[in-house]
Structure formats: C-alpha cells, structure tokens
Structure 1
C-alpha cells in the first residue's frame, strides 16, 4: 500500500488554540511525528505479506480456522486506507473547523506523486521485464501499468487483481485515486461546514458529510452487481471510500477536540474514552477480524461474492479499520522519555501497552520501509518459488514467509534509501509548504 507520511501543514490553516491545556483532558496528538501511527503502518505491511504468501502456498485457502484466519489478514488494506484518511485529510479538517484556507493543492499533489511513483516505477519496470511476456512490447500495457490505471481495463489479459508480479497494486491504484479526489472531497466538506456558525456546528457538519460519503460507498456496490456482475469494480475507489472516511472522521474528531466549546464536551469525552481504551477497541476489532474469516464476508481469493456479501465485507473492513486505528489516532502524545517496555508488568496494567507495541523497535524498523516491502513482495515471492520449484497453491506458508520477508525487507530498504528518500528531498525544492 502507498506510504502515508505525516500530512503537510499549511500556515494559512493555523488556528488559535487554548494556550494552556489541562493535561487531564488527554487531548489527541495532532502535530509532530505520530510514531504510533507509523506502527500501525508497519503492522499492516506485515499483514499484507502474510495474506499474499499464505494465498500463494494455498494455506489461506485450506479449510479450517487456520486458513480462514490467514486469509482475513487481507484486512490490512482497510488499515492503509484509514491511515491515509487520518494523515492526509487532517490539514483540511483543521481549516474547515477554523473557517480558514486549506493546504496548497498543487504542493499536496506534487508531494503525493513524488512519494508514490518513483519507487513504484522501479518495481513496475522490473515486473514488466520479468513477467510481461508477449505483452512486453505493448505500449498500452506499459502505460496502464506505469500510470496505475490497469484496474480500469475491462478486458485484462491477466488473471486476478493485476498483472503478474503486480497483483497487490490494485490497492495502490485506489490510494492514488483517493489522493487525486481528496481535494475535491475537502472542498465539498468545507463548503458544507461553512453553514455552521460555531466550531461545534462545523464539526457536526463535517462528520455528517463523511457519513454521507460512507453511505455512498455502500450504494456504489449496487452497480458492481446489477444489472450484471462487474468484478473489476471491486478494485475501484467508490466502494472503498467508507474506509478512507473512517480516517477522515478520526482526523476531524482529533482536531475538533482541541476546539470544542465548553470545558469537557462530548467530543473530548469520546476521544478520551477511545484513546484510553485500546484493549476494548482491539477486542472489538478482533471480532470484526473473525467475521472477515467467515463465509459471510466472502471468499478467500479476491472473490467479491454477491451484493449482500460485499455489504458485510465493507462493514467488516470499516469496523476493523476504525477500532484498530481509533485508539492510536485519538490518543494523547506519548509521555516524554524512553519507550515503555512490553515485558514490564506496569506497561500492561496502566494501559501503555499499545504505545509500547506500536513504538517497538521492530515496528520502528519496518515503518519507513513498509512501502518498499509492499512493492517488492510479489516479485520476491515469485522468484523464490521459481527458485525452489514450487507450483501455485503448493508448499508451506511457514517455510516461504521467512525468505520472502527477508528478500522484501532487503529490497525495500534499498528502495527507501536509493529512491524514496532522494526523490522526496528533491521534490521539496519546488514547494516549501509542509512535508510529503
């Protein structure tokens, strides 16, 4: 999935905040590097690799609870979408609540392009050279792949959600579509919010608008099946907008909590309750995960099923994303000092375990290279299975996942240092506002 770094701050959207905030309010973190959200990204990255390897070996397709739970790790995708909503919509939410100008759209789009495409092009060219076969000389195929528009090909020559070696990129295509349309959604929500005379009224209007967007994402399932099934629409943005809206709502609530009128209003209480109840939230998320592992949420191999199955799947995705991301996105800043150790009993008894887990050295290591790991994993998986002479849906997940993880990490780290970071630094020369 596409990287979702901290969203750019726009000077024009700055607001006057309460100069002295009562620490007992436990207001959410809304500025600076959010290391716990980076941990969610690392977790999602590992989940994506698990579902891809286990599907290729057939373990995720095997009957029984183990296969079902492995297949449900596809819920990593809604996590990525929700993270994008939180981090990228935040400056627009701030501006809409304050009634000020939002971020520079040109700078935002430029940063997104330079953050996503340089590393993707490296991997896409490698996949095309390895697996395009007779389509290697097809200009149309190259253009579709390099622009991430291949999910809109209504008569593809490949099986599954994407060309060989690039099957996971359908979700990156959805991300890019969201990046392009986010300024439009932001304008709509901002105009709608202007009808509110107070910050609380504007906040309610924004949340109401996001509820409408979520409802429309459910309605987008109808043309996917009627008057006839169109499975390709499963990998288009409209049906996924509810997952992005979850993150956008969390960004709005976190900013709204800082501006809410009164000493301790319902928004602050809600943020405090969710931010200090990670165990309960993740327990609910686990229930959604189990639901995803049942036939009620569809098949295990990118099978949209029917309309009602897709409704259940969409609900599962939205619910899982909310209850995993919310206690992190609405949590107050971590206390200064060393990271809390998970082996300490006090970390678990005083509720600091989530921050300790999300800022664990493993998560800190994976977070910056997660995009590269995501990009390379199918190529590494196929090369490894070709090297070991394995056929599709054969082999062992437990024997394949370690070498594939190691190979993806090595290539992901190289891509991060040789492509992602240089292109990001180069792109900053053109616009000074914020960071990509």
Structure 2
C-alpha cells in the first residue's frame, strides 16, 4: 500500500505538504506566486527577441565575439523549457513524494490548451494571411500551422525552422509536445517512486528516473544523424527532454527538501547552498553561455551540425538552464516588504541582488506579456523590414531592436488583456481543483 503523508493538504494538487519546517533551514519556496521565476521568464523573453532580431540583421552571424555572444542568446529556449519543467511537474513531484494521487490530468490538459492556443491562433492567422502566399488556400498548411504540427512535415515548402512569420514556433511545438506527454512521464516516475519505502527513497528514485530521461535525450540525437542526417528532428521533443528534466529535478528537490527526514539532510543543505549562492551559479551559467558562443556548439543559424556538436550543444543548454534557474527555484521565499533595490550596496553585500534583479519592475512588466511578445516578434520584425525596405541579413541590430521591441510589447500587451486572460478565466469554469 502506498505510504500516506500526515502533512497538511496542498489545495492546488490534492497532495500533502509539510509546512512546519524550521525557517532557519531556508527551505525553497514551493507555493504562492513565485515572482523571481516570473523574472527569469521576462529575462528569457528579452533574450529570444535579441537572438531573432540580431540573426535577421546579420549581426549574430558576423565574425567576432559580439556576433557570437548575440547568437548565444538563443539559450533563452532552454530557460523556457526548464521553467516549464519546474512549474508544471511540481504537483506531480509533490504527489510522488507523498505517495498520493496527482493532479487532475483532464483539468491540467484543458488549462494548457487554453493557455497556449487562443493567442497563438490569432498570431498564426495574421502570419498566414500576410506571408502564406500561394499556400494561403492550402487546408493542409493551415491545419499544420494551427495545430503546431508543422515541424513534423518532412518536405516543408519553407526555409528554416518554420513558415515565414512563425519561425520561432518550433519551440512552442516542443512545449506542447511536453505538455501532452508530461502526465505520462509523471505516471512513470510516480510508479517508479512507489518502490521507495520512505520519502528519501522515493526522492532518490524520482531523480534517478529524470537522469535516465536526460540520458535518453542524448541517445535521441543518434537517429537525428544516423543512418542519414534528419535536420527536422532538431525541432522535436526527444532531444530537448533533458532541458525539461532539469526543471523537473529542481521541482522535485524543492518539494523533497520540505519532507526530508532528519534535522538537516543533504537535500536541504544542497538547496540552501545553491539558493544562497546565486553569484557562483550564474558565473557557471556564464561559462556555458560562452561555450555556446564558440564553434564547438555548432553554427549560428539553426544548424544542427553533427552528432558531437549536438551533444555539446545539449550539454551547454542543460547546464545553462540549470545554473540560471536553480538559485531562483531553490531560494527561500523573499522577505516581506518592498523588493531590494539594486542600487543599494547592501543588496549586493548580503546576496539579495538576484531577488532584486528578478523582481525588478522591468522583469515584472515583461513576465505576464512574455508569451505575447514571443508570439508577435517575427510578424513585427518582418513588417518593420518591409516598411524600411531592408533585405534579410541587412540593417543594424541596434537600430531595429527598438521598434521591434516596442511593436512586440504593444501587441503582446493587447493579446494578454484581450485574449490570454479572458481565455484563462473562461477555462476555469469547466474544472474545479480536487480537494
């Protein structure tokens, strides 16, 4: 029989959660609005805009360190993937550790559909009308785009990772594939965790299972190149699962720390060490970022390279995502009161700079509209280039980034208020949280 936890019930998942831990242990935040993780989303939003604009203007493709560092801002994608792993797997991690039932799968899938597709359909329809050309009347093309299955087209009529105006949506397709398969991964990990008689044993089994998933993501690179290269597989979920698994592992560790046996076990010490060492973690993340900017991690324009280059690219992506997000995901809740000011010396001397940065008004502003900015940026970029008469790989990143940013923010904010939020509120009517 599955072990039953005596901890108070968490209303968001129907699982139990310990809430009486010693605050001196600085346990990670596992409930409430995680503003610092929202800040990471805002940071990733800006990074992905930088890489797309700099690539279209050719600055990211130019020789030299500036172009290399601009191109490496594509590491925003692993950040988005790992964030999804942290936030979406946490209720299942909680249930697996406690040996209780997980969240309602139907409600979860419904919320994901309503979170992703309404706003995406608006942008996709605009992009198709503007740029589909001869394929505007193609039912198949509309169906592939509207269902985000176009990365599986083995003979696409477009160049690059997606149709014109929608090139960035390959990563959204990967996200949706993860959303659909996450309940299956959760079932696998939950069943495997049941073999542990204690919370610590179950935690070790979950982490072990995520290590296996990460190894399988590396093995998924083999059929991408052998017996012949299949570049389209670069846009599929299997090779990206290690990036999601990083986030899932952080979600597991944050919940495990609240349940670990003993007064101060290794999981709590690990979480406390990482959560209070953001400077060291981000320095390591910067090393992975610089490695991504070198030829060792492949070309600068969605070029998978060869097997070994892809192995290095996957490693840099996983490492960068882990060390950027870990000190945020494993940090204790921010103290009550106003956020710490970055211009105050005490903020830097007492290690509060990361929370101050992630909760900065700029990050707070971008976090809720980040999805809309992500969706609109290529449409805005192409409209701007048409307006100014610029050809591809011409122009200046430093001049184009300002109007594209402004246009994407305005449309993203409109989409958030007129489509995303109404869809989210409407979707909540159909399922109630299991108590």
How far did residue 432 of structure 1 move? 1.5
| Residue in structure 2 matched with residue 100 of structure 1 by the alignment | 100
- SS of 1:44's equivalent in the other structure is helix
| Residue in structure 1 matched with residue 353 of structure 2 by the alignment | 353
Contact 1:9 1:91 in 2 (8 A): no
| Residue in structure 1 matched with residue 213 of structure 2 by the alignment | 213
How far did residue 175 of structure 1 move? 0.1
| Residue in structure 2 matched with residue 38 of structure 1 by the alignment | 38
| Residue in structure 2 matched with residue 147 of structure 1 by the alignment | 147
Q: Distance in 2 between matches of 1:419 and 1:371?
A: 12
Q: Distance in 1 between matches of 2:94 and 2:12?
A: 10
Residues 222-237 of structure 1 aligned to structure 2 (within 5 Å): 222-237=222-237
| Residue in structure 2 matched with residue 3 of structure 1 by the alignment | none
| Residue in structure 2 matched with residue 13 of structure 1 by the alignment | 15
- SS of 1:196's equivalent in the other structure is coil
Cα deviation digits, residues 304-323 of structure 1 (max 9, x gap): 00000000000000000000
Gapped regions of structure 2 (runs ≥ 5): 1-9
| Residue in structure 1 matched with residue 125 of structure 2 by the alignment | 125
Residues 406-421 of structure 1 aligned to structure 2 (within 5 Å): 406-421=406-421
Q: Distance in 2 between matches of 1:358 and 1:11?
A: 27
Gapped regions of structure 1 (runs ≥ 5): 1-7
| Residue in structure 1 matched with residue 344 of structure 2 by the alignment | 344
| Residue in structure 2 matched with residue 304 of structure 1 by the alignment | 304
Q: Distance in 1 between matches of 2:298 and 2:11?
A: 40
Q: Distance in 2 between matches of 1:14 and 1:360?
A: 33
How far did residue 356 of structure 1 move? 0.2
Q: Distance in 2 between matches of 1:296 and 1:355?
A: 33
How far did residue 282 of structure 1 move? 0.1
- SS of 1:63's equivalent in the other structure is coil
| Residue in structure 1 matched with residue 170 of structure 2 by the alignment | 170
| Residue in structure 2 matched with residue 387 of structure 1 by the alignment | 387
How far did residue 13 of structure 1 move? 1.4
Query: TM-score, normalized by length of structure 1?
Result: 0.97
- SS of 1:43's equivalent in the other structure is helix
Number of equivalences: 425
Contact 2:13 2:91 in 1 (8 A): no
| Residue in structure 1 matched with residue 290 of structure 2 by the alignment | 290
Contact 1:89 1:251 in 2 (8 A): yes
Q: Distance in 2 between matches of 1:370 and 1:394?
A: 27
Cα deviation digits, residues 180-205 of structure 1 (max 9, x gap): 00000000000000000000000000
Q: Distance in 2 between matches of 1:305 and 1:18?
A: 49
| Residue in structure 2 matched with residue 4 of structure 1 by the alignment | none
Cα deviation digits, residues 256-282 of structure 1 (max 9, x gap): 000000000000000000000000000
| Residue in structure 1 matched with residue 4 of structure 2 by the alignment | none
Q: Distance in 2 between matches of 1:80 and 1:214?
A: 17
- SS of 1:114's equivalent in the other structure is helix
How far did residue 9 of structure 1 move? 5.6
Q: Distance in 2 between matches of 1:11 and 1:106?
A: 13
- SS of 1:172's equivalent in the other structure is helix
How far did residue 18 of structure 1 move? 4.9
| Residue in structure 2 matched with residue 5 of structure 1 by the alignment | none
| Residue in structure 2 matched with residue 51 of structure 1 by the alignment | 51
Contact 1:10 1:102 in 2 (8 A): no
2:430 aligned with 1:430: yes
Contact 1:341 1:356 in 2 (8 A): yes
Cα deviation digits, residues 317-350 of structure 1 (max 9, x gap): 0000000000000000000001100000000000
| Residue in structure 1 matched with residue 158 of structure 2 by the alignment | 158
Contact 2:36 2:359 in 1 (8 A): yes
| Residue in structure 2 matched with residue 320 of structure 1 by the alignment | 320
CA distance change for structure 1 residues 282 and 299 in 2, over 3 Å: closer, same or farther? Answer: same
How far did residue 14 of structure 1 move? 2.4
Cα deviation digits, residues 121-174 of structure 1 (max 9, x gap): 000000000000000000000000000000000000000000000000000000
2:275 aligned with 1:272: no
- SS of 1:233's equivalent in the other structure is helix
CA distance change for structure 1 residues 107 and 164 in 2, over 3 Å: closer, same or farther? Answer: same
Q: Distance in 1 between matches of 2:113 and 2:37?
A: 22
Contact 1:86 1:248 in 2 (8 A): yes
- SS of 2:409's equivalent in the other structure is helix
